C-alpha cells in the first residue's frame, strides 16, 4: 500500500510512504532522484519494512518532528541549503539511538571518516549492491530493537528495585511491631535472624535460603501481634486456656502473610517454627523431613535465644546449660546432626565478631506466586 502526503511547508517535493504487509520497522529514505527513491522503497518494502520517502532534507526533518523512525537512509547531495550530513545531525539531535546510513556518488576516505565521526552507522557509494544494503539495514534495525529491549529492561529493573524497597520497609515495620510487643521479647526476633543467618552459612545453604532464614527469623513470631499482652508478659506459668491461645500464633502469622505474594517465602517458617522432629509439635504435627531445613534452622535459633534470654517466669541459661538443653532435645525437637552443628557454632559465636554480618532484611522473589 502506498500513500501520498501533502507538500511540506518549505515547499519541498511530496513525500510518499510504502507500507509492507508485515512491518519489521520504519525507514525514512531521502534522495532527490525519484528513480532511486522508488527502487529503495520497493526493495525495502518487499523485505518487510514500512518505508517513508522524502526528496529533501527539509522534508525529512519535518517528518522526523512528527513520526518515529527506526532507520534513516539518506543521500548526501540533496537540493536546498541542507545536505545529508545536516539531516544526520538533525536525526542525532532528535533521536540519538536512530541509525543513519548515508549514500553518495563521490566518496573518498575523508568523507567516510567525517560521516562516521558525525554519527553515521554506515555509508555506501552509488551505485551499490542491494544485497549489501540489505545486510546493513538489518544490522541497524536489530541494533535499534536491542537498544529498546535494554531500555525496557532498565525500566523494569527500576520498578523492581523500587518495589523491593517498599517490601523491605514493610517487613522492617512488621519486625519492629513484633519487637515492640513486649519488653521481654524486644530484640528477640532480631537475634533469631542473626543466629539463623550464621547457622545457615555454616550449613552451606543457598543465598536465597540465607535471605529467607534471616528475614524469616525476624518475622517468625508475627502471629503474636494478636496475642494479648497480659499473656505474653505474664510472670508465672500459663494455664491451659492461655497456652491454647499462644499456640495459635503460628497460624495467625501465616494467615496474615499468605495473601501477600511477596511474603509467601516466609510462611513455612512463621507457621512451622514450633513443629518438632518427632511430630509432637504444633500446629500441624509435622515430623522429620516434613519440616523444611529453613524452618529447622530458625527453630533452633529461636529455641536457643529463648532459653538464654530473660523472661518474666525464669532466668536465662548459661551457654553450658543451653548446650546441654539443646542436646537433650535431640530426637524430640531437633535432629541430632543439626544440634551438633549448632553447638559447634556456639563455641565460635560469629555474631560477637566485629566482622559479623548484622541483621539483614532483604526481600526474595516468591516462587510460583
Q: Is residue 369 over pLDDT 90? A: no
* Per-residue pLDDT tens over the stretch 219-254: 999 888 888 888 887 888 888 999 999 999 999 999
pLDDT, position 148: 83
DSSP class of 276: -
pLDDT, position 3: 36
Tell me the average pLDDT across 265-284.
Answer: 96
Question: How distant, in Å, are the alpha carbons of 147, 159, 210 from that of 83?
Answer: 28, 43, 62
Q: How far apart are the C-alpha atoms of 266 and 286, rounded to whole Å?
A: 17
Q: Is residue 186 over pLDDT 70? A: no
| Kind plus residue range of the DSSP H or E element containing 34 | helix 34-47
Q: How far apart are the C-alpha atoms of 37 and 231, rounded to whole Å?
A: 86
CB-CB contact of 63 with 28 (8 Å): yes
Tell me the average pLDDT across 136-149.
Answer: 86
Report field, pTM of the whole predicted structure over 0.75: no
Q: Is residue 75 over pLDDT 70? A: yes
Superfamily of domain 2-152 in the CATH hierarchy: Response regulator (3.40.50.2300)
Number of CB atoms found within 10 A of residue 348's CB: 11
CATH topology of domain 181-352: Hypothetical protein af1432 (1.10.3210)
Q: Is residue 283 over pLDDT 50? A: yes
CA 136 to chain centre: 35
| Backbone phi and psi for residue 311, each to the nearest 5 degrees, phi listed first | -130, 155
Closest CA to 70 of 172, 140, 149: 140
Closest CA to 122 of 102, 139, 148: 102
* Per-residue pLDDT tens over the stretch 11-23: 444 455 555 455 7
* Per-residue pLDDT tens over the stretch 333-360: 999 999 999 999 999 988 875 444 445 6
pLDDT, position 312: 67
CB-CB contact of 175 with 195 (8 Å): no
- The structural domains of the chain, with segments of one domain joined by +, span 2-152, 181-352
Domain 2-152 and domain 181-352 have a common topology: no
pLDDT, position 2: 36
Q: Is residue 314 over pLDDT 50? A: yes
Tell me the average pLDDT across 177-201.
Answer: 83
* Per-residue pLDDT tens over the stretch 81-138: 888 889 999 999 998 888 899 888 776 667 777 778 888 888 888 888 888 889 889 8
CA atoms within 13 A on the CB side of 278: 7
pLDDT, position 270: 96
pLDDT, position 168: 72
Average pLDDT, the chain: 84
> Percent of the chain, pLDDT > 70?
87
Number of CB atoms found within 10 A of residue 121's CB: 20
pLDDT, position 154: 85
CB-CB contact of 104 with 78 (8 Å): no
CB-CB contact of 71 with 141 (8 Å): yes
DSSP class of 149: H
- Please give the residue that has the higher pLDDT: either 273 or 363: 273
pLDDT, position 12: 46
Cβ burial 49-71 (10 Å sphere, 16+ → b, else e): bbbbbbbbbbbbbbbbeeeebbb
DSSP class of 12: P
Sheet of 50-54, strand order = 2-4, 16-18, 50-54, 26-30, 71-75, 99-104, 122-125
> Percent of the chain, pLDDT > 90?
46
> What cell numbers appear for 160 in the block?
523492581
- Please give the residue that has the higher pLDDT: either 361 or 249: 249
Amino acid at each position: 500500500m502506498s500513500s501520498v502526503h501533502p507538500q511540506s511547508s518549505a515547499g519541498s517535493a511530496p513525500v510518499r510512504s510504502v507500507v509492507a504487509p508485515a512491518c519489521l520497522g520504519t525507514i525514512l529514505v531521502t534522495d532527490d532522484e525519484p528513480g532511486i527513491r522508488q527502487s529503495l522503497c520497493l526493495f525495502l518494502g518487499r523485505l518487510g519494512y514500512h518505508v517513508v520517502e522524502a526528496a529533501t532534507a527539509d522534508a525529512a526533518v519535518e517528518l522526523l518532528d512528527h513520526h518515529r523512525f527506526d532507520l534513516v537512509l539518506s543521500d548526501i547531495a540533496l537540493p536546498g541549503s541542507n545536505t545529508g550530513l545536516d539531516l544526520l545531525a538533525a536525526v542525532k539531535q532528535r533521536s540519538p539511538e536512530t541509525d543513519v546510513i548515508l549514500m553518495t556518488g563521490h566518496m573518498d576516505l575523508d568523507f567516510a571518516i567525517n560521516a562516521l565521526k558525525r554519527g553515521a552507522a554506515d555509508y555506501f557509494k552509488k551505485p551499490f549492491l542491494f544485497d549489501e544494503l540489505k545486510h546493513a539495514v538489518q544490522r541497524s534495525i536489530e541494533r535499534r530493537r536491542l537498544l529498546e529491549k535494554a531500555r525496557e529492561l532498565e525500566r523494569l529493573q527500576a520498578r523492581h528495585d523500587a518495589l523491593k524497597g517498599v517490601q523491605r520497609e514493610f517487613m522492617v515495620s512488621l519486625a519492629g511491631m513484633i519487637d515492640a510487643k513486649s519488653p521481654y521479647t524486644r530484640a528477640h526476633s532480631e537475634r533469631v535472624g542473626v543466629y539463623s543467618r550464621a547457622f545457615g552459612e555454616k550449613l552451606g545453604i543457598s543465598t536465597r535460603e540465607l535471605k529467607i532464614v534471616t528475614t524469616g527469623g525476624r518475622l517468625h513470631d508475627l502471629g503474636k501481634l494478636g496475642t494479648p499482652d497480659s499473656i505474653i508478659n505474664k510472670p508465672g506459668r500459663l494455664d491451659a486456656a492461655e497456652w491454647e491461645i499462644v499456640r495459635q500464633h503460628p497460624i495467625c502469622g501465616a494467615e496474615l502473610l499468605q495473601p501477600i505474594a511477596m511474603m509467601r517465602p516466609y510462611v513455612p517458617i512463621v507457621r512451622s517454627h514450633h513443629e518438632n522432629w518427632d511430630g509432637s509439635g504444633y500446629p500441624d504435627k509435622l515430623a522429620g523431613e516434613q519440616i523444611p531445613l529453613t524452618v529447622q534452622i530458625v527453630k533452633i535459633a529461636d529455641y536457643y535465644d529463648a532459653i538464654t534470654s530473660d523472661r518474666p517466669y525464669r532466668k536465662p541459661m548459661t551457654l553450658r546449660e543451653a548446650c546441654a538443653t539443646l542436646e537433650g532435645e535431640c530426637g524430640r525437637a531437633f535432629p541430632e546432626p543439626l544440634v551438633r552443628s549448632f553447638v559447634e557454632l556456639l563455641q565460635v559465636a560469629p555474631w560477637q565478631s566485629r566482622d559479623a554480618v548484622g541483621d539483614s532484611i532483604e526481600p526474595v522473589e516468591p516462587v510460583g506466586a
